[in-house]
Chain A
Amino acid sequence: MKKGIAEILEARGDAKRDSLIPILQEIQENEGFLSQRAIAEVGRRLGIPTSKIYGVATFYNQFRFEPKGKYHIQVCRGTACHVLGSATVLDKLEKLLKAKAGQTTRDGMFSIEVVACIGACGLAPVININGNFHAKVTEQSLVEIIENLKNKEV
């Protein structure tokens, strides 16, 4: 069952500013991202300015501020993937989709997330799209993967 922001805050009745991060994590778990409304709500409850909450949240890679796309693409930036060129993969992906890591394309179709090692080093460089792993990604194969998904949609 998904919990709403109000419910999450309610359950932590007398929470103080030191529970900010767990609260943000729980909201993201339930809503998929941290909306402006959620941040404002948390700010009001904990008495922290939204600029501070946003500052804290952007310090960590784990938080996103836009809803996930229909296809959520995780790019592994762990060591093995890095050695085998995941930086180029990420760069290419961002250019292909015209969206940066942490963002969602305007049509809501794709979103990109950078993750640390996802434990599939044998497949490096690896990306994970909605639970499907794509192994040994190259710039060329990436173009194909994205094209296929786009074609599926038309």
Chain B
Amino acid sequence: MNIEVNNKIFEAKAGETILDVMNRNGIKVPTLCHMKNYFPSGACRMCVVEHENTGRLVTSCSYPVEEGMKVKTHTTRVIEARKMIVELLLSNHPDDCLYCVRNGNCTLQDLAVEHHVTERRVSGVKNNFNKDLSSPSITRDPDKCILCGRCVRVCEEVMGVSAIDYINRGSKTLIGTSFNKGLNTSSCVNCGQCIMVCPTGALSEKCHLNEIQMALNNPSKKVVIQYAPAISVSLAEEFGMEPGRDVNGIMNAALRKIGFDYVFDTSFSADLTIMEESAELIHRITNNGPLPLITSCCPAWVKYAEEFSVDFLPNVSSCKSPQQMLGAIIKSYFAEKIATKPEDIYSVSIMPCTAKKFEAQREDMTHQGITDVDAVMTTRELAQLIRLYGVDMHNIDPEMTDSPHGIRSSAGKLFGGSGGVMEAALRTAYFKLTGKELTEFKIHAVRGLTGRKETQIRIGDLQLGIAVVSGLQNAKILLDEIRDGRNDIHFIEIMACPGGCIAGGGQHIGADESAIMSRLKSLYDIDDRDSIKVSHKNPEVIELYEKFLGEPLGHKSHDLLHTEYKKRDVPL
């Protein structure tokens, strides 16, 4: 069918919305509540256009195309209506943009600029809700919330958690948890996906920068930093470079300039995780389970399991995540090596993730009363720190990481994307079971951003069913199938964030799907380029086992690198 937009004819398919057609043809109208690939909610009315056949203003994000329909997108009436919506949204807004984390990256600010809002024509009573600072990961400021509902929808539809929803009605409406208690006592899994879709500063990560700066300024502390596999391919966007560019060397240099004493790579401990987890997989296969084994790298998934999937807790790998493994090694093996007391080490990590902040403060993530990791910053906070210390990312020479925890295999690097843990684990499990390396390392079936991937793999005379899911709603669907009797799956990778850590809740806000794809591609390129493609060939990992740990699943590993999980009592 054809529809007419601004006097031009465009082709349209039944079932599409006006917005779909406009997007395809480069016609831009502002949207707020709309999210790609979600069912439209029509909550904000920002996207209104004039429906000439009826003379009405309709929301283009939810209005289906009709044969012979004529639409105008920027008539005076439309522009006035949109401007009024912006002005009403601003009328009870706290107006503290200059002190806001999202200053300069805020959809509401952009809309005010776009609609030339230069004076206050409507002034409303300001909200005066309490901030929710209870969560170790997420900070909520309901005063800045414009009630678009995007966070509610991600939490429900992508995460299957529904920790938050609308509370009250009318001018008292706010978004909060059940019983309007703090997020820390709710079912929130700290994934931070709600932050990623929030158009304003109502949601942000709990910031650790002050603590980190204090440690940097403390002469009696050795400040050690590690960064997750996804960081080096995501940071570029924060500095206006092209998405996916690998800035690993530049980042190492920047971290030294800021004052970190040792720069380590979490991909190293991703390799370590693979040594432990593949041993665990083989152990479970040869000892009758429990199977499927489910990965435990993602703390959002782990918390989800402790709340919603308690029946699967025995299946979750006992391995700590790479962040925590490296944290534990830094304060034991490494501390000994540099003859420093673990208390005098301040261990920081950079993660694409807000749930890692929660993970770092879990009680089981300590060893003899000492925390494995002391502070966690997101990719966004790292960018902030780099700016704060005046490091020019465009004019600095790349540097190497430090030994003994700076070398990684490309398998460890793959952890950054959905399917990466699986691919790395299978490469090593194959070697351990057959004594031979895979002839083709790439396992295409588990690559890409798709939320659910499954395949069967042959290792010697073993037939292994594997599944990779991201987005906890997808995990729920898979686990339900297993509850209903499926038994052909032996190993599952679960990541909370859709596409894995490259799309984590601590990443650059405003990245689109193509930017995320570029990050993933960058990881694959590294894997193509690098010479060490399997975790068990990482020389520093081999050395760590020889000099310190002994065997995977051995006594020391058990003590430092493994943990256990328990049911959490929260309102579901």
Say whether, besides A36-B179, A39-B178, A65-B179, A50 and B168 are in contact (CB < 8 Å): no
Interface residue B272 (Cβ < 8 Å from any Cβ of A)? no
CB-defined contacts of A54 to chain B, threshold 8 Å:
165, 167, 178-180
Interface residue A43 (Cβ < 8 Å from any Cβ of B)? yes
Interface residue B163 (Cβ < 8 Å from any Cβ of A)? yes
Return the contact of A50 from the options B156, B169, B572 (Cβ within 8 A). Answer: B572
Interface residue B38 (Cβ < 8 Å from any Cβ of A)? no
Interface residue B389 (Cβ < 8 Å from any Cβ of A)? no
Chain B, residues 147-180, CB within 8 Å of chain A (1/0): the string is 0000000001000001111111100000001111
Number of interface residues of A (CB under 8 A): 15
Interface residue B571 (Cβ < 8 Å from any Cβ of A)? yes
Whether B168 and A51, one on each chain, are in contact in the complex, defined by CB atoms closer than 8 angstroms, is no
Say whether, besides A50-B571, A51-B162, A59 and B178 are in contact (CB < 8 Å): no
Whether B166 and A55, one on each chain, are in contact in the complex, defined by CB atoms closer than 8 angstroms, is yes
CB-defined contacts of A49 to chain B, threshold 8 Å:
156, 162, 165, 178, 187, 572
CB-defined contacts of A55 to chain B, threshold 8 Å:
165-167
- Min CB distance B190 to A, Å, is 16
- Bound Cα distance A40, B180 (Å): 14
Of A36, A55, A59, chain B has the most CB atoms within 10 Å of the CB of A55
Number of interface residues of B (CB under 8 A): 17
- Min CB distance A31 to B, Å, is 16
- Min CB distance A21 to B, Å, is 14
Say whether, besides A50-B178, A52-B162, A53-B178, A36 and B168 are in contact (CB < 8 Å): no
CB-defined contacts of A50 to chain B, threshold 8 Å:
178-179, 571-572
Nearest A residue (CB) for B186: A51
Say whether, besides A39-B178, A39-B571, A40-B572, A51 and B163 are in contact (CB < 8 Å): yes
- Bound Cα distance A58, B167 (Å): 6
Whether B178 and A51, one on each chain, are in contact in the complex, defined by CB atoms closer than 8 angstroms, is yes
CB-defined contacts of B180 to chain A, threshold 8 Å:
54, 58
- Bound Cα distance A124, B340 (Å): 76
Interface of A is mostly: helix
- Bound Cα distance A44, B178 (Å): 14
CB-defined contacts of B186 to chain A, threshold 8 Å:
51
- Min CB distance B473 to A, Å, is 13
Which B166-216 residues have C-beta < 8 A from chain A? 166-169, 177-180, 186-187
Whether B572 and A58, one on each chain, are in contact in the complex, defined by CB atoms closer than 8 angstroms, is no
- Bound Cα distance A59, B166 (Å): 9
CB-defined contacts of B187 to chain A, threshold 8 Å:
49, 51
CB-defined contacts of B169 to chain A, threshold 8 Å:
58-59
CB-defined contacts of A51 to chain B, threshold 8 Å:
162-165, 177-178, 186-187, 571
- Min CB distance A36 to B, Å, is 6
Whether A36 and B165, one on each chain, are in contact in the complex, defined by CB atoms closer than 8 angstroms, is no
Whether A59 and B165, one on each chain, are in contact in the complex, defined by CB atoms closer than 8 angstroms, is no
Whether B168 and A59, one on each chain, are in contact in the complex, defined by CB atoms closer than 8 angstroms, is yes
- Bound Cα distance A53, B571 (Å): 11
Nearest B residue (CB) for A49: B162
- Bound Cα distance A33, B204 (Å): 34
CB-defined contacts of B572 to chain A, threshold 8 Å:
40, 43-44, 49-50
- Bound Cα distance A113, B163 (Å): 28
**Could you pull out 28 A-B pairs where Cβ atoms are within 8 angstroms?**
A36-B178, A36-B571, A40-B572, A49-B156, A49-B165, A49-B187, A50-B178, A50-B179, A50-B571, A51-B162, A51-B163, A51-B164, A51-B165, A51-B177, A51-B178, A51-B186, A52-B162, A53-B178, A54-B165, A54-B178, A54-B179, A54-B180, A55-B165, A55-B167, A58-B180, A59-B166, A59-B168, A65-B179
The 7 closest A-B pairs by CB, nearest first: A49-B162, A50-B178, A55-B165, A51-B165, A51-B178, A50-B571, A54-B178
Q: A residues touching B (Cβ–Cβ < 8 Å)?
A: 36, 39-40, 43-44, 49-55, 58-59, 65
Q: B residues touching A (Cβ–Cβ < 8 Å)?
A: 156, 162-169, 177-180, 186-187, 571-572
